[in-house]
Structure formats: structure tokens, C-alpha cells
């Protein structure tokens, strides 16, 4: 059988989940995403602190992170009809804010996020951090959970605490406070961040950020060792917050000149402590004892790392990233350029020692010696970043939120949370989806108020059988929007969220009605356009109007129209899969410009070998032999399974082209 991929199967844009092993990774829920692209956390610093200086596949997910499911305590309300401040709204480039906190608290939170984004942009190259296709939504609650009855899923209040790896913060160990349980919901094109600031001293907040999910949308994807080195939960450089300092006093007028973050942790806290003691030993022989490290050819290999070696692999990934971005690799312009060039090439081809040498001018052995020396210097020492961040940012102008804004932002967050729990906890998923439906219903009725404690989903709405739950049937709740009509909603963003909700709830007909209206209204939501194209594809496939059971050209055009809108905004692989699948089932043949779109998908996602194969086969069947041959060559670069290599070569043979030597199978 040919390695075909159903262009409508699964969801490949639970993003952040794209870790891209040698064979394409297809996460089925956002659980891995939340675990892998975890929140960085809030960093805090006590202004009274003395001595502040004056001057941050499927196998690959296992190979880089331990899956960390975020499970909330059930039935605790953070939103109910009790006396509390009304929702207020503000927007800024790339961010929307919905807050029930006081303006001062809200601005403190947003300022911390702006500082975090500024620091990220300062440390990392721009092409690693693409622009957000949809504004992030920041939800700031200020509810005392002890005063509300039980009933709905909720977000725990912020809990600042000393970092679990405080020993790596050096002299700042007793000064930094972090929050490692941020509650985020991801979709294929956006992120919603929900926080409860009740009882939190916002003056302590120095740095905060929504998670570095932007890294996951870089195209071509960043190497998994780099992702792990930057945001790995235990050892990544950005695993926690940064303490910020300015020359005029902490957060005084002027600019912040210095940031201190978590230091290098090697394998574990115990191992780090042991090695630190060893390096302090007066015995020269003990100081010279080599530290066990992962050979670089193993660090950069495409195959998954054995579970038993993951801690050391993660530690070395972080060490190499720190060396390149903040250590000796960044101090010398030639070496800094070599590091960035190495990453650029590693995004498109497997790492070999020859490629490494071409970038750095020396091989693996020399770099391993450099990393041994560098580890001795930075082990247990905080990360230090010289930068210029404004001490103050323009304050947001908060206004009373409209029902559309409240319903869209809260409903979308609840919907995305429901989707993230779909596989880990179907019951919790249903609770979230039910709450999302109730929120969207109130927005539709122009009477938005958070669900009351009596509005939990009833028992008779639960899945009827265990087999249904095991099969992950997309039916979770009754339909709160059953009476809603798309033509009665005027906000394009709310239409898009309603459509995505209806799809998650299992009603494709209602979903399509809302999504059609959202597209007609010009909604800025790439995910909505992709889902609309997918639903049009499913409808057309059920009733093909072309010859020999194929789609007619008008049917294909109706699918490609919204797909091309999605293509304009950092499209995920599933957009290209549907593009290829539509042309493969169409009676008409793609033009040269259409084939160029197909080729772009393979260029953006070189590790997706299924996409490469299906794209090459489409080119071959459409009379574009040269393009098919190129895509075959590109697909073979990351093909690790012999059976798939044979499929590619069989396809090449059908073109009449000679087989190309690709070297040893990795």
C-alpha cells in the first residue's frame, strides 16, 4: 500500500505539538502541546532585596519532554453570579485583554508580559519567533474562590513560589519567585492565557510571558534539540522567569539593563550538586575527571532518544543552546554566525558531522571539549542577559467589555481547554465544552454572564457507553446554541468561535453555517478558514459531482478558496495536506501555480514525509515529473523506514527517472 494520508483525519494543528521527528508527528490532543510548550512562568523580585546589581514525532515528544497533564480540581467556580467587578476590555498589537482586576493590577500583569516578549525577541533571532496569526487573549480574573459555590471548571489563583531548582539561581536563589502552573489553551492559530490574581502582590511581578509557542510555528520547524534546550521543563533556558534590573533602581525610570534567569542544571538537582562539589574539590584529578555527556551525534540524531538517557540529553541540549545564544558562541561574531547558520541548516536537513564542520570550522570532538569546559563554568550558575527593556510601557485604556468580546474570549478559552482534555480526561473535556456553549449562548443572546453553579452538564448528557468514550466520539454536550442563527451574530470573531465550538461539539452542519458566515464577514482566524475548507471537503466527498466519482472543478474551487486564506497566515501541515488531498480527488488538473503551493508545503515542513510523498504523487499524476522527482528527493532526506523509502523509489520508477543514492538509512 502507498503511504497515503487522509487529508481530513485528525487535528495536526494542536500546535506547539509539532516537534517533527524523522517521521511526521501527529498529536491528537493539546495535552502534549501543553506539556511540551509549557508556560515559562512568572518571575518576581522583591524590591527590598539588598545587593541588586546595577546593570532570559510521537517519539520526539517523548524524547524531549515528560508529558505533564494539567488536571484541575473539579467543580470549583471562578465565574459565577456573585457580586464582583464587571469585565473590561483593551487591545494592543498582538494581544487582547479581558480583565476583572483593577486597572493597576491589569497593567502590572500586561507589563510583565510585554517585558517577557521583549526579552524573548532580544535573545532569539526573529525567524525563530514568527508573528502571531491571531492576537493572544489574556484573561485576568480577580475572584476569591472561597466566596463562591462549587460548580464549574476554573483557573487556580496565581501562586508565586521559590523555583524548584533554586540552587541554579546562584545568589538570586532566595529572591526569585516563579509561577510554573500557568493555565493556557492552545489552538492551531492562537493561545488564550487565563489567570486569577486574587491576593497576589502585583508589585512583585517582574517578568511574565505567555508560553513560547511561537517557537512551534517557525517554518521550517526548529530542531527538537533546540526546542528542548530553550523551553524543556526541567532544564530549558526559558523554563522559568527572569529577574530584571535597571540602573536607576528596580523598575524605576529608564531602562532595564540586565536579566538573570535559571542556571544550568545537569541531569538532576542531586547530580548537579554532586558535580558542583566535585569541581570545588582541591584534588586536580577530581577536577579533571570528564563529566559524562551525550555524544553530539546522539544529541542531533533524528531517531528518538532512549527514555533512560532523556535527562542527560535534555541537559546537553540546554547547554549547547546557552553556549550558542548567551555564552562563547554569542560573544564572537564569527562563532555567533556559525551557530545561527547551523540551526538554519538543521531545520532543513539531518545533522551530520560534515555539515557541522562546514558551519563551525571544526568537528564534533572539538565542540564536545568546548562544552565540557563550558559546563564547568556555568553549572549551577544563573543565566545572564544584557539587554535594554523599557522600565515602563504605555498603560492600557480599559473599557467596559461588550457581550461579544466576553463571549468570544471566554467561550474560546473554554472550548480550547475542552479540546486539550479530550483524550486525557473526557469527562473534564465535556465540562469545559458545556461551559463554552453556555458562554457563547449568552453572547448570542446579548446577556453574557458567567455560568451559575447550577449549570453543570447533566448526567444524561454524558457519553452513553464506555466504548463511545474510548472511541473519542466528538459528541460531548447538549447543544446550547441550538436556537442560535449565524445571520443574527454580527461580530466576525464570535462567529468563528461559535463555528469552531460546534465542530468540537460534533455538529458539522451548525459548524459550517457559523464558519461560512465568519468567512463572509472577513473573520481573522486562520483555523476557522481551514475548518470551513475541511467541512466543504467532507460534504463534496459525500456527493462528488465530477466524472468517475471525483470532485468537480467548482467543488474543488470552493474548498481551495478558504484554504488559500489560511495559507496566508503561517499555515500548519494539515492545511497543505488538505490542499494536496483536494487536488488528488479532483477531476481537473492543478496548474503550475497550484503545484508551487504544494511545493511550498514540503519546503516549509521537510520532516513531514507523508506530505512529501503525497505531494510528489500528485505532481506525478498531474504531469509535473520534474517537480515530482524533486519532492521525492526531499522526502527521502528524512525518511527513516525502509518500507517508506521503497514507496518513494517505486514512485520515482513510475516517472522513468533513475534512482538517486541517498546514502545510509539513518
Q: Which of 474, 468, 606, 607 is nearest to 531 (CA)?
A: 474
d(CA 40, CA 548): 53
DSSP tag of 185: E
Range with top average pLDDT, 26-30, 196-200, 231-235, 440-444:
231-235
Instruction: Please provide residue 223's backbone torsions phi and psi, each rounded to the nearest 5 degrees.
Output: -60, 145
Q: How far apart are CA 400 and CA 336, in angstroms?
A: 48
pLDDT given for residue 637 in this prediction: 95
And the C-alpha cell for 557? 474551487
Task: With cut-offs at 50, 70 and 90, classify the pLDDT of residue 208.
Answer: low
The count of other CB atoms within 10 Å of the CB of residue 607 is 30
* pLDDT reported for residue 482: 56
The pLDDT, as a whole number, for residue 55 is 35
pLDDT band, residue 28 (cuts 50/70/90):
very low
pLDDT at 183 over 80: no
Distance CA 276, CA 49 (A): 26
Nearest in space to 385 (alpha carbons), one of 264, 261, 259, 262:
259
For each of the domains in the chain, give its residue range(s) and CATH number, in order of start. Answer: 402-509 (no CATH), 525-588 (no CATH), 590-666 (1.25.40)
**What is the rounded average pLDDT of the residues 617-643?**
95
| For the chain, percent of residues with pLDDT exceeding 90 | 48
Name the nearest CA neighbour of 137 among 78, 198, 91. 91
pLDDT band at 471 (very low <50, low <70, confident <90, very high): very low
Reported as a single tens digit per residue, the pLDDT across 623-633 is 999 999 999 99
Kindly tell me the number of DSSP H helices and DSSP E strands found in the chain.
Answer: 24, 12
**pLDDT score at 173:** 76
C-alpha cell at 248: 536607576
Cα–Cα–Cα angle for 515, 516, 519, nearest 5°? 85
Give the predicted TM-score (pTM) of the model.
0.81
pLDDT at residue 193 tops 50: yes
Q: Are 457 and 475 in contact (CB under 8 A)?
A: no
pLDDT band at 490, cuts 50/70/90? confident
Q: Let me know if 474 is exposed, middle or buried by CB neighbors in 10 A (0-12, 13-18, 19+).
A: middle
Q: How confident is the model at residue 264 (pLDDT cuts 50, 70, 90)?
A: very high
Burial of 496 (0-12, 13-18, 19+ CB in 10 A): buried
Residue 285 has pLDDT above 80, yes or no: no
What pLDDT, on a 0 to 100 scale, did the predictor assign at position 463?
A: 38
Residue 253 confidence (pLDDT) = 63
DSSP secondary structure, 43-104, as one string: EEE-TT-TT------HHHHHHH-------PPTTB-SS-SSS-PPPEEEEETTEEEEE-S-HH
How far from each other are the two terminal CA atoms of the chain, in whole angstroms? 23
Cβ-contact 228, 317 below 8 angstroms: yes
pLDDT for the residue numbered 152: 52
Q: Is residue 287 over pLDDT 50?
A: yes
Average of per-residue pLDDT across 542-551: 96
Whole-number pLDDT of residue 144:
80
What value does the mean pLDDT take over residues 10-37? 27
Higher pLDDT, 273 or 161: 273
Residue 416: name the closest of 56, 6, 58, 139 by CA: 139
**What region does 569 belong to: left with phi over 0, alpha with psi -120 to 50, or beta?**
beta
Residue 633: count of CB within 10 angstroms of its CB: 16
Q: What residues have CB less than 8 Å from 391, skipping those under 6 apart?
A: 246, 248, 251, 252, 253, 254, 255, 256
The cell numbers describing 41, all together, are 512562568
Q: Write the pLDDT tens digit of every residue in 413-445.
A: 999 998 888 888 998 888 889 989 989 988 887
Across the range 642-660, mean pLDDT stands at 85
Q: What are the tens digits of pLDDT across the range 520-543?
A: 999 999 999 999 999 999 999 999
3-class secondary-structure state, position 243: strand
Question: Is residue 169 over pLDDT 80?
Answer: yes
User: Which of 432-443 are b and which e, b meaning 16 or more Cβ less than 10 Å from the residue's Cβ?
Assistant: bbbbbbbbbbbb
Report the 3 state secondary structure along 375-440: HHHHECCCEEEEEEEECCCCCCCCEECCHHHHHHHHHHHHHHHHHHCCCCCHHHHHHHHHHHHHHH
Please tell me the predicted confidence (pLDDT) of residue 44: 36
Percentage of residues in the chain having pLDDT higher than 70? 74
φ, ψ of residue 389 to 5 degrees: the values are: -120, 130
Q: Describe the crossing of helices 364-378 and 353-360 by its angle, rounded to 10 degrees.
A: 70
Q: What is the pLDDT of residues 454-468, one digit of tens each?
A: 343 433 343 333 333
Q: Sort strands 176-179 and 183-186 into parallel, antiparallel or unpaired.
A: unpaired
Amino acid at each position: 500500500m502507498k503511504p497515503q494520508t487522509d487529508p481530513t483525519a485528525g487535528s495536526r494543528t494542536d500546535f506547539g505539538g509539532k516537534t517533527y521527528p524523522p517521521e511526521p508527528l501527529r498529536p491528537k490532543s493539546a495535552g502534549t502541546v501543553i506539556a511540551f510548550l509549557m508556560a515559562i512562568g512568572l518571575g518576581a523580585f522583591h524590591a527590598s532585596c539588598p545587593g541588586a546589581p546595577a546593570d532570559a514525532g510521537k517519539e520526539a515528544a517523548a524524547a524531549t519532554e515528560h508529558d505533564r497533564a494539567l488536571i484541575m480540581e473539579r467543580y470549583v467556580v471562578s465565574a459565577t453570579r456573585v457580586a464582583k467587578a464587571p469585565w473590561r476590555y483593551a487591545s494592543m498589537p498582538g494581544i487582547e485583554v479581558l480583565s476583572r482586576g483593577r486597572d493597576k493590577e491589569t497593567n502590572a500583569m500586561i507589563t510583565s508580559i510585554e517585558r517577557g516578549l521583549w526579552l524573548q525577541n532580544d535573545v532569539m533571532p526573529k525567524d525563530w519567533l514568527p508573528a502571531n496569526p491571531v492576537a493572544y487573549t489574556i484573561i485576568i480574573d480577580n475572584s476569591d474562590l472561597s466566596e463562591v459555590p462549587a460548580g464549574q471548571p476554573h483557573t487556580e489563583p496565581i501562586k508565586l513560589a521559590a523555583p524548584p531548582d533554586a540552587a541554579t539561581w546562584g545568589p538570586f536563589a532566595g529572591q526569585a519567585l516563579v509561577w510554573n502552573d500557568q493555565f493556557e489553551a492552545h489552538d492551531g492559530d492562537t493561545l488564550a492565557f487565563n489567570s486569577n490574581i486574587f491576593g497576589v502582590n502585583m508589585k512583585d511581578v517582574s517578568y511574565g510571558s505567555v508560553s513560547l509557542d511561537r517557537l512551534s510555528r517557525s517554518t521550517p520547524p526548529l530542531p527538537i534539540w533546540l526546542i528542548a534546550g530553550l523551553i524543556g521543563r526541567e532544564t530549558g533556558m526559558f523554563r522559568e522567569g527572569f529577574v530584571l534590573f535597571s540602573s536607576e533602581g528596580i523598575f524605576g525610570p529608564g531602562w532595564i539593563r540586565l536579566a538573570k534567569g535559571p542556571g544550568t542544571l545537569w541531569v538532576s538537582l542531586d547530580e548537579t550538586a554532586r558535580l558542583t562539589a566535585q569541581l570545588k574539590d582541591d584534588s586536580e584529578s577530581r577536577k579533571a575527571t570528564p563529566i559524562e555527556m551525550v555524544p553530539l551525534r546522539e544529541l542531533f540524531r533524528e531517531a528518538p532518544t532512549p527514555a533512560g538517557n532523556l535527562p542527560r540529553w535534555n541537559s546537553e541540549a540546554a547547554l549547547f543552546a546557552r553556549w550558542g545564544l548567551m555564552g562563547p558562541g554569542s560573544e564572537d561574531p564569527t562563532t555567533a554566525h556559525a551557530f545561527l547558520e547551523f540551526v538554519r541548516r538543521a531545520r532543513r536537513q539531518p545533522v551530520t558531522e560534515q555539515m557541522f564542520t562546514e558551519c563551525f570550522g571544526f568537528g564534533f570532538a572539538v565542540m564536545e571539549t568546548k562544552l565540557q569546559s563550558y559546563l564547568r563554568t556555568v553549572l549551577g550558575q544563573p543565566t545572564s542577559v544584557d539587554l535594554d527593556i523599557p522600565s515602563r510601557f504605555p498603560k492600557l485604556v480599559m473599557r467596559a467589555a461588550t457581550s461579544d468580546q466576553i463571549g468570544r474570549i471566554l467561550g474560546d478559552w473554554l472550548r480550547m481547554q475542552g479540546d486539550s482534555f479530550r483524550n486525557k480526561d473526557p469527562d473534564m473535556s465535556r465540562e469545559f465544552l458545556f461551559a463554552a456553549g453556555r458562554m457563547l449562548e449568552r453572547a448570542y443572546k446579548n446577556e453574557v454572564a458567567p455560568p451559575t453553579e447550577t449549570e453543570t452538564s447533566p448526567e444524561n448528557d454524558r457519553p452513553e457507553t464506555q466504548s463511545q468514550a474510548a472511541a473519542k466520539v466528538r459528541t460531548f454536550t447538549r447543544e446550547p446554541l441550538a436556537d442560535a442563527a449565524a445571520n443574527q451574530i454580527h461580530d466576525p470573531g464570535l462567529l468563528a468561535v461559535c463555528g469552531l465550538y460546534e465542530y468540537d461539539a460534533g455538529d458539522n452542519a451548525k459548524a459550517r453555517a457559523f464558519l461560512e458566515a465568519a468567512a463572509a464577514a472577513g473573520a481573522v482566524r486562520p483555523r476557522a478558514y481551514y475548518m470551513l475548507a475541511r467541512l466543504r471537503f467532507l460534504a463534496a466527498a459525500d456527493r462528488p459531482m465530477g466524472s468517475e466519482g471525483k470532485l468537480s472543478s467548482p467543488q474543488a474551487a470552493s474548498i481551495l478558496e478558504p484554504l488559500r486564506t489560511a495559507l496566508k497566515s503561517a499555515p500548519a501541515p494539515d492545511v497543505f495536506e488538505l490542499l494536496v488531498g483536494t487536488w488528488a480527488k479532483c477531476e481537473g488538473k492543478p496548474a503550475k501555480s497550484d503545484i508551487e503551493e504544494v511545493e511550498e508545503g514540503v519546503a516549509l515542513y521537510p520532516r513531514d514525509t507523508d506530505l512529501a510523498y503525497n505531494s510528489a504523487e500528485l505532481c506525478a499524476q498531474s504531469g509535473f515529473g520534474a517537480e515530482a522527482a524533486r519532492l521525492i528527493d526531499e522526502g527521502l532526506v528524512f525518511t527513516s523506514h525502509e518500507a517508506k523509502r521503497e514507496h518513494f523509489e517505486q514512485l520515482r520508477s513510475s516517472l522513468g527517472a533513475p534512482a538517486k543514492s541517498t546514502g545510509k538509512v539513518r
